[in-house]
Each structure stands twice: as C-alpha cells, then as structure tokens.
C-alpha cells in the first residue's frame, strides 16, 4: 500500500506542477478541472485548457483506478482472474499555431494481484514522450531525441536506442505507412524482472521522464509561437490533426484500455483535437514544405546523427 501512496502522490504533484508551468507558458488561459469517480473503483482529475494564446486545446489528466481486471485484458496479459490498480498522468497539447508541434506524454504505474494466494501478482511502469510536428525539420527532431537520450542514459545507455525503436514501431499508422511524428521514447511493462533493476531505479527513471516534459515543450513553444501562420499552413495543420485522430482511435492501446475498463469517456478522448480535416486523396505538391514533411515520417531515422 505504501508504494501505491508514494506513486499516486507523485503523479498528483506532477500534474499540479505541469499545469502551473503550462498556464504561465500559455499566458492567456487556465485549466478547468473536473473531478470524477469511477463506479467500479477509483477516479481522477481531468484538467483541460482551451483557447489559449499558445494552446488551442490541451489536457493534463491524472487518474487512479482499481477493481476486477476485465476478462479481455486478463487474456491479453495472460493472467488469471485478478484485481488491478493503475495510476498515472497523460498529456496531449494541440497548439493554436501550426508551426508549434503537438506533444504527448504518458507516465503510468500498473499492478495486479491474483484472487487466490497461489495466483501470480505483478507490477510495471510504462509511458514515454513523443512529438508530432505539423511541419518536420531535422533540427526539431534532434532536440527532443537528444533531450530524451540524456534522460535514458542516466539509468542505462541501452535504453534510448531500445525505447526510441519502440516508439517508432508503436506510433505508426500502418494504413498510411507513416509515423505519427518524429517519435521520442516509448516503454511498457518495465519491472524488476524484465530489467534486472530495482523498483527505486526504475521509478527514478520514470520521474525523470515526467520532469522532462515541460522543458522540452517550452523549447518548441518559444522557438515557433511567434511565426505567422498562413492559410496553407492552417489547412495542413488540420490534415495532420486528422492523422492524429486516426492513430488514437484505430491503433492506440491506451485508448482501448481506457474504454475496456469502463473509464471516463471524456477523459479518454481528451486527446482529440478541437478540429481536424480529411481531404480525399490529398497529395502535397512536390517541393513544398508539406511534401518535405511526409519524407520525414519514417521509422528508424537517426535524429541525433547525420543521416
């Protein structure tokens, strides 16, 4: 129980600090908070910011839920009937300006306990940060990857390449043959058995990932927010937001898990942009910034190197 309390309180404090820093960075809007309870156990704090000077729509959500593990998830995790507990913070920011990227972070803790003494119990952490620019440049891709490599190297020099590859494969729209953006890092089901590291070591890494979010996003906001958008850029932003919607509703496991565990729909779908467009067979003209962006939406790009 002590571990749950420690983890849960830190996630709440992370939500508080990130909301405060984002309000200051935005300078024009504040978060609205909805407190909610889950009928079968637990609840959360959904915080949404809209119509800001920087952020058109964004959410910073905390949740801590528990109860019987749904049968569908039991099968996917290869577990017997169990009780589960899950807590974490999830963030998606959709900027007003198309030159500023979309950013996503999730940091979570999950555990299960069997209903019988002989049944297995487990715990793990998972999450990561990834960036979805509407317009991609190597320079912008390099910054997030360099920042996250520093975090990973603090615990294990193999983590960055491993988790970067995991993000490339996870944030991938198979039906479009595109990555969602420039990626970042993604990891799941890390525990003492999978990593040969203690809970304290893994938890320290997890905290460093959470604390890296605001400095990374501040870099892009300050770099791009004053660049004037054109009508072409705004239209392209709507197209790229459409791709974001497609990933979240078709491929994202977090969305599916939330719905499968009877989570709060408004909180689960907080990641949706306020507006998006789909044009039939839309093909950017060769040589345009839009066409150049599509060339970067591939797996296994070495953003830190020179390829």
- DSSP per-residue string spanning the chain: -HHHHHHHHHHHHHHHHHHHHHHHHH-S---EEEEEE-TTSEEEEEEEEES-SSEEEEEEEEEEEEEEPPHHHHHHHT--SEEEEEEEEEEEEEESSTTSPEEEEEEEEEEEEESSTTS--EEEEEEEEEEE-SS--HHHHHHHHHHHHHHHHTT-TTHHHHHHHHHHHHSEETTTTEESSSEEEEEEEE-HHHHS--HHHHHHHHHHHHHHHHHHHHHHHHHHTTSPPPHHHHHHHHHHHHHHHHHHHHT-HHHHHHHHTT--HHHHGGGS-S-----TT--PPTTSHHHHHHHH--TT--SSS--
Interval 70-119: pLDDT, tens: 888 888 777 888 889 999 999 999 999 999 999 999 999 999 987 777 77
Average pLDDT, stretch 138-149?
97
* 238, HSE (Cβ side, Cα atoms, 13 Å): 12
Edge to edge, what strands does the sheet with 82-95 contain?
32-37, 42-50, 55-68, 82-95, 102-114, 122-132, 183-190
The pLDDT of residue 114 is 78
16-to-19, 24, 44 alpha-carbon distances in Å: 5, 13, 13
CA–CA dist 137, 121 (Å, integer): 45
* 288, HSE (Cβ side, Cα atoms, 13 Å): 10
CATH of domain 2-296: 3.40.1500.10
Whether the pLDDT of residue 13 is over 80: the answer is yes
Considering the chain, what is the average pLDDT of its residues?
94
Of 189, 195, 299, residue with least CA distance to 253: 189
Whether the pLDDT of residue 150 is over 90: the answer is yes
Interval 243-271: pLDDT, tens: 999 999 999 888 887 888 777 888 888 89
Catalytic center residues: 104
Is the CB of residue 33 less than 8 Å from the CB of residue 43? no
Is the CB of residue 169 less than 8 Å from the CB of residue 217? no
Of 223, 210, 222, residue with least CA distance to 25: 222
Whether the pLDDT of residue 3 is over 60: the answer is yes
CA–CA dist 279, 239 (Å, integer): 8
Tokens of 141: 């891709």
Other C-beta atoms lying within 10 Å of the C-beta of residue 228: 7
CA–CA dist 93, 116 (Å, integer): 42
The alpha carbons of the chain give a radius of gyration, in whole angstroms, of 19
Chain centroid, CA 95 distance in Å:
15
CA–CA dist 108, 30 (Å, integer): 25
Whether the pLDDT of residue 147 is over 90: the answer is yes
Which residue is listed with tokens 């939500």? 15
Average pLDDT, stretch 196-215?
97
Whether the pLDDT of residue 300 is over 60: the answer is yes
Domain ranges of the chain: 2-296
Q: 45-54, 174-183, 248-257: which has the minimum mean pLDDT? A: 248-257
The pLDDT of residue 73 is 81
Whether the pLDDT of residue 1 is over 60: the answer is no
Whether the pLDDT of residue 6 is over 60: the answer is yes
Give the burial string for 86-100 (b: 16+ CB within 10 Å, else e): bbbbbbbbbbbbbbb
pLDDT-derived band at 306, boundaries 50, 70, 90: low
By percentage, how much of the chain surpasses pLDDT 90? 81
């Amino acid at each position: 129980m002590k571990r749950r309390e420690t983890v849960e309180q830190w996630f709440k404090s992370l939500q508080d600090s990130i909301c405060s820093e984002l309000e200051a960075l935005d300078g024009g809007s504040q978060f609205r908070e909805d407190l909610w309870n889950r009928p079968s156990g637990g609840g959360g704090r959904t915080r949404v910011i809209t119509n800001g000077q920087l952020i058109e729509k964004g959410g910073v959500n905390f949740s801590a839920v528990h109860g019987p593990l749904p049968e569908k998830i039991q099968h996917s995790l290869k577990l017997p009937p169990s009780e589960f507990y899950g807590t974490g913070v999830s963030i998606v920011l959709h900027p007003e300006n198309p030159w500023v990227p979309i950013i996503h972070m999730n940091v979570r803790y999950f555990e299960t306990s069997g209903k019988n003494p002989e049944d297995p119990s487990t715990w793990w952490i998972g999450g990561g940060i990834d960036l979805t620019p509407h317009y991609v440049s190597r320079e912008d891709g390099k910054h997030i990857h360099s920042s996250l490599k520093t975090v990973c190297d603090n615990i294990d020099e193999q983590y960055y390449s491993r988790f970067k590859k995991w993000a490339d494969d996870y944030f991938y729209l198979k039906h479009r043959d595109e990555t969602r953006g420039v990626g970042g890092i993604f990891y799941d089901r890390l525990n003492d058995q999978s990593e040969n590291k203690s809970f304290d070591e893994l938890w320290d890494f997890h905290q460093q990932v959470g604390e890296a979010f605001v400095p990374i996003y501040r870099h892009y906001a300050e770099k791009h927010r004053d660049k004037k958008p054109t009508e072409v850029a705004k239209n392209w932003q709507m197209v790229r937001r459409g791709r974001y919607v497609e990933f979240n509703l078709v491929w994202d496991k977090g969305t599916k898990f939330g719905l499968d565990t009877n989570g709060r729909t408004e909180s689960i779908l907080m990641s949706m942009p306020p507006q998006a467009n789909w044009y039939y067979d839309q093909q950017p003209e060769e040589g345009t910034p839009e066409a150049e962006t599509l060339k970067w939406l591939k797996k296994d790009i070495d953003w830190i190197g020179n390829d």
